[in-house]
Structure 1
């Protein structure tokens, strides 16, 4: 027959037992636990009833612990310590209040936004170990869904029931060409006049690639793409080296260098990227993610 533990025996009552044995009196135990002496006495009496044996002898108004109480207390110390560890490990496995925070980010955000975010999160939670994983919109979103990342900084994803997204800022898309190209000095670019141009672009999983293709759909022709790459800094180097032109978000303007010119698009092709912080909606109260959201808001307000 399986032994059943009485409902009278709880972790809270075991904590009261330990507090009483360590404090030596009902009043000091009550002060330590921030409860009344009546609550301490009631918890000890209920625990004794649940154990079906004597835990205390009455000597006047004092409760003197028996050997049985000492045995139970020793087991309770180990049990409570094990439960604290189990709770910590369980929450860490789910990503809640873990000592590590895994953040995914677009390459283009690592120049200015991400460093500011990382400084902000370290100020709020200095003990937190932060891992940064760069990638494309699609790859990062998949890793978030699988629980491999805690949060991602990307262009706004399509709405999903399980994903919460907080808008951080919007960014204009520009035509990018070598500084010494025929486009130098133009105030805006009509993509229809670029039908014979060679282009380089990011791979299909990046939000900038989707914007690139949408702009040329509006222009009415399919661009000649000579090369696709998987990070925006390589793409910028290819453009500045004369391999081809492309479309780039304005946030990389500060690191584009003098060999590359970023020119506004004609209003017919104008588009913006909405950059946001995304995480699983079930974790919206996670202290680490709350600190991250606060750091993101502060970062974008100062850049």
Structure 2
């Protein structure tokens, strides 16, 4: 008797929940990121496990972790998602005008300050019928939004919360290396030096952002590499506020060159560090396959062009 195989079907939305669980590492954090309850996340994962006929999670202490089968399933899901994005791009190119009516760019705050104004000006000339919206966001939330379609292009920096360069879900475009200078008050004892060893600031008060942010993490790591833990007196993420506090003599800080427009008029001194300067790498990402979309290809082209004027 001929054996009839059971059709293999899975819900792509449930795959997205599983992917978020892999990214966040816990049901609670996954639920928070997706604006669901932990119970709803568990139900989605359980339903996907029934559809696929495999166990997807296993106990890990008081939490859960993905099984090997779940990771295999997600690897195939990446390929499926990329093919669907290529189909979307082909259909957009087939239609009259060859493109979508709106694009949303998710971007870190310093990129909005130092990069996007020129990009948006160029896009208004090249894509006059396309609406371009901007959302301030950073990893991991930025890539959750990219996966979910709330964002079409993600502009981010390489650090722990960002996906690795080898992540098969995304097509990545390298943009620039953003060097960070040391900002000290204009009357500081080192203000006229130009170049210093970072350890000369070991006994200074520091103004440093959230450790979960890229610059906050970089400041802590470069100080540690120089042999000291910074005395963080002010925890501030807003660049204009950081510059104002430095100007007021409240401490020293690392300021990215990308945000120079917000501190160019301040009375402070910018110093470079001896050796390799602290820096961060800025890149753009779209969902794999979406780089074939004519409109998104134009956005990526202008991001590259404005990163290297």
Q: TM-score, normalised by structure 2?
A: 0.62
Residues in 1 aligned to 2:243 and 2:137: alpha-carbon distance in whole angstroms: 16
Q: Which residue of 186, 195, 201 corresponds with 2:193?
A: 186
Q: CA deviation at 1:300?
A: 2.4
Q: Are the counterparts in 2 of residues 155 and 275 from structure 1 also a CA contact under 8 Å?
A: yes
- Mapped to 1, the partners of 2:242 and 2:144 lie a distance apart of 23
Whether 1:134 aligns to 2:136 is yes
Question: Offset of 1:234 from its aligned partner?
Answer: 2.2
Which deviates further from its counterpart, 246-255 or 281-290?
A: 246-255
Whether the 8 Å CA contact 2:177–2:282 is kept in 1: the answer is yes
| Pick aligned residue for 1:264 from 272, 279, 294 | 272
Q: In the alignment, what sits opposite 2:168? A: 161
- Measure, in 1, the Cα distance between the counterparts of 2:139 and 2:239: 12
Instruction: Give the CA deviation at 1:227.
Output: 2.1
Residue pair 1:176, 1:245 contacting (<8 A) in 2 also = yes
What SS class does the counterpart of residue 234 from structure 2 fall into? Answer: strand
Matches within 5 A, 1:96-135: 97-135=99-137
SS of structure 1 residue aligned to 2:128? coil
CA displacement, residues 188-245 of structure 1 (integer Å, 9 cap, x when unaligned): 1212122211111122232212221121111111111122223322222222222221
Structure 2 equivalent of residue 146 of structure 1: 148
Q: 1:40-51, aligned counterparts within 5 Å?
A: none
Match of 1:253 in 2: 260
Q: Is the 8 A contact 1:136 1:205 kept in 2?
A: no
- Counterpart-to-counterpart distance in 2, 1:250 and 1:147: 31
Bigger-Rg structure (1/2):
1
Q: CA deviation at 1:254?
A: 4.3
**Once the 2 structures are TM-superposed, how far is the Cα of residue 285 of structure 1 from its aligned partner?**
1.2
Aligned to 1:81: none
Runs of 4+ residues deviating >4 angstroms: none
Question: 2:64 matched to which residue of 1?
Answer: none
Matches within 5 A, 1:163-178: 163-178=170-185
Classify the secondary structure of the residue corresponding to 2:106.
Answer: strand
Whether contact under 8 Å (1:139, 1:205) holds in the other structure is: no
Q: Deviations over 1:265-285 (max 9, x none)?
A: 121x62322211112113121
State how 1:186-205 maps to structure 2 within 5 Å.
186-205=193-212
Partner of 1:213: 220
Unaligned runs of 5+ residues in structure 2 are 1-87, 93-97
Q: Is the 8 A contact 1:120 1:298 kept in 2?
A: no
Q: Please tell me whether the aligned partners of residues 206 and 253 of structure 2 are also in contact (alpha carbons under 8 angstroms).
A: yes
| Contact residue 138 and residue 206 of structure 1 kept, 8 A | no
The 1:259–1:139 alpha-carbon spacing in structure 2 relative to 1, beyond 3 Å, is farther
Offset of residue 174 of structure 1: 1.1
What is the count of residue pairs matched by the alignment?
Answer: 210
**CA offsets, 1:132-153, max 9 Å, x none?**
1123444433432333211122
- In structure 1, the gaps of 5 or more residues are 1-86
Does the CA contact (< 8 Å) of 2:101 and 2:129 recur in 1?
yes
Query: Residue by residue, what CA displacement relative to the aligned partner does 1:46-65 show, whole Å, maximum 9, x if unpaired?
Result: xxxxxxxxxxxxxxxxxxxx
> Is the Cα–Cα contact under 8 Å of residues 175 and 262 in structure 1 kept in the other structure?
yes
